[in-house]
Amino acid sequence: MPDQDRGYLIVNSRTADGVLLIPNVTVRVYDEEGNLLAETVTNQDGYTKEISLEAPPPSNSLSPGQENPYRVVTIQVEKEGFYPMEYRNAPIFPNIVTIQQTNLQAIPKNSTQPPNAANPGGPPGQSAPPYPFTVIDESGAQTL
């Protein structure tokens, strides 16, 4: 049984059309202040191991006016040959495993521009990837 006040995250990486699983994708999880909480790599089946993260107490969901019953994190995924992606506001609930599917688009040969160049990419203090992150704001990830 999971520890109280911990949530769990598994990241699944697939191609943009969702058909093929992508191994060896670098996954970084950041808190709301941009602090790195976890870094891992997807396995041969395109999944990370379960990442344990702090979460608010379950009691926050019992009455109105309490703090959020979940924590939000930012998930960045990168792999050479694919545009990097950033998933913001992914919820982490206490005692629940959240599965975040990520869909990476392959970079066409001789490409100079990503499909969405609005975000310069990367948290403060880190060098930006060769292409800016494409940002997706999550209103809720699939949970088990």
Give pLDDT tens digits for 26-66: 999 999 999 999 999 999 999 999 999 999 887 777 667 76
6-138: which CATH topology?
A: Immunoglobulin-like (2.60.40)
DSSP 41: E
Closest of 30, 40, 138, 120 to residue 75, by C-alpha: 30
| Token reading at 39 | 């870094």
- What's at 91, amino acid-wise? P
List the beta bridge partners of residue 54: 6
Q: What is the pTM of this model?
A: 0.76
| Token reading at 90 | 């992914």
pLDDT at 123 > cutoff 80: no
Q: What is the pLDDT of residues 28-38, one digit of tens each?
A: 999 999 999 99
Strands 142-143 and 97-104, sheet pairing: antiparallel
Sorted by where each begins, the domain ranges of the chain are 6-138
User: Do 63 and 45 touch, CB atoms closer than 8 A?
Assistant: no
pLDDT at 143 > cutoff 60: no
pLDDT at 117 > cutoff 50: no
